[in-house]
Amino acid sequence: MRSIAFLTVALFAHACSAQAAMSADRPVIPSDSGQLIVVATESWEATSGALQRFERIEDRWEPVSDLVEVVVGRSGLGWGTGLNPEQPNGPTKQEGDGRAPAGVFLLTQTFGYADSEATGLPYIHATRDVECVDDSDSQYYNRVLDRSDVEADWESHEEMRRRDELYRLGVIVAHNEAAVPRGGSCIFLHIWRGPGTTTSGCTAMTPSAMAEVASWLDAEEIPVLVQLPQSEYERLRTEWQLP
């Protein structure tokens, strides 16, 4: 599983370089990104919303899917740490708060229980040894890794090979890539328990919708997730050049 560590480092470097490139005179969504997923909820406290996929055609975003129902964190949304600048209003995502991150985030890897999957992103086969570290005191905080490859220094983690179907297929959301302690960790798109349910801070959907997203994503297109309450989406729509 050493390939996981390699991919994580490589994609972390790409995410950091993309974040460093963001400035007042550059778009929040990278100009070379050709795939966009938009998730909108009714309010900061809402625990469900809608997802739609877009592709960049010349200088505009064109929808390539219908709206899909999703569920988010049990506490709704809170501003996360991604490609977007800090915002003056609304709650802030923290470790264990039950909020899914709001903002703009790269989508870097897929993962799942199968040996391989039809996806255009690097894929992690989630064996029993693959974990995501959610212990803020660990040097591996907010990293997906194989515990057999490192000396474990964490007290808590997410098992990537769960005993249920939720992580049978998923996508890693590049939230808090700098691993700021207690800034929030292990954020994914994954399969839901069902409509009306919630997550601990991820965004979840039906198995078929998750499969469509995973197979559509293409690393060469630098896919991005924009996740916002509807009021914030409308406020930032022009500034962030959203569809």
Global pTM reads: 0.89
Return the sign of the alpha-carbon dihedral for residues 113, 116, 117, 122: positive
Rounded CA gap, 78 and 23, in Å?
Answer: 22
What's the confidence (pLDDT) of residue 25? 61
Evaluate if residue 14 carries a pLDDT over 80: no
Mean pLDDT of 70-94: 96
For 97-127, what is each residue's pLDDT tens digit? 999 999 999 999 999 999 999 999 999 999 9
Concatenating the DSSP letter of every residue in 47-58 gives -EEEEEEEEEET
